[in-house]
């Protein structure tokens, strides 16, 4: 082969490898996107069934209940408009507290309970996960918020 042809073959091979990689990546990407929904959206039924997604909001005060095994917990995530019951089995993160923001990832069960596989709560006491803050802000903007005010700005 002439150097010129060689270069073309090389470029062709490179492009093929890239196309393959891109196909692979995009496929994996598509199936691993985790969407975020607010409790209002969950209550309205705008969420996918049989697929994992995230919800976020405030953990309602006084809603945390622990089962006898010490690991399974029930709590309610709210955006002050709608409430979603959540079940989680495992150890909650350090910063998980009633009356604070939290984000949970999992699937919606048939009875409307959100079965979380992961609960995220990060940062210091003032910090609100942006998704949770967003959910609260949206609900507030929709006019569902009563006269109660909430400080939702981080820091």
Nearest to 139 by CA among 35, 37, 38, 36: 38
130, 145, 150, 152: residue in contact with another protein (rule CB under 8 A) = 130
Q: What tokens appear for 71 in the block?
A: 């690991």
Give CA–CA dist 75/73, Å, rounded. Answer: 7
| Closest CB 101 distance from another protein, rounded Å | 11
Distances (CA, A) of 42 to 12, 52, 57: 48, 13, 12
End-to-end CA distance of the chain: 65
Question: According to CB under 8 A, which residues from 42 to 101 bind another protein?
Answer: 52, 54, 66, 69-71, 89-92, 94-95
Stretch that binds another protein, among 14-22, 43-51, 107-115, 142-150 (CB under 8 A): 14-22
| Closest CB 147 distance from another protein, rounded Å | 28
Residues composing the chain: 155
Stretch that binds another protein, among 24-32, 74-82, 106-114, 140-148 (CB under 8 A): 24-32
Largest pairwise CA distance in the chain: 79
Residues at the contact surface with another protein, assessed by CB under 8 A: 3, 6-7, 9-10, 13-14, 17-18, 21-22, 24-25, 28-29, 31-36, 52, 54, 66, 69-71, 89-92, 94-95, 122-125, 129-131, 134, 154-155
């Amino acid at each position: 082969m002439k150097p010129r042809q060689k270069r073309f073959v090389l470029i062709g091979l490179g492009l093929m490898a890239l196309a393959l990689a891109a196909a692979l990546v995009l496929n994996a990407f598509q199936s691993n996107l985790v969407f975020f929904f607010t409790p209002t959206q969950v209550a309205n039924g705008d969420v996918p069934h049989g697929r994992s997604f995230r919800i976020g909001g405030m953990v309602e005060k006084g809603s945390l209940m622990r089962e006898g095994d010490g690991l399974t917990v029930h709590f309610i995530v709210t955006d002050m408009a709608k409430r979603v019951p959540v079940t989680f089995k495992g150890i909650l993160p350090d910063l998980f507290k009633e009356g604070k923001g939290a984000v949970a990832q999992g699937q919606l069960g048939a009875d409307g309970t959100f079965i979380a596989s992961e609960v995220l709560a990060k940062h210091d006491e003032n910090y609100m996960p942006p998704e949770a803050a967003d959910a609260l802000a949206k609900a507030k903007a929709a006019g569902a918020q009563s006269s109660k005010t909430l400080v939702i700005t981080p820091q």
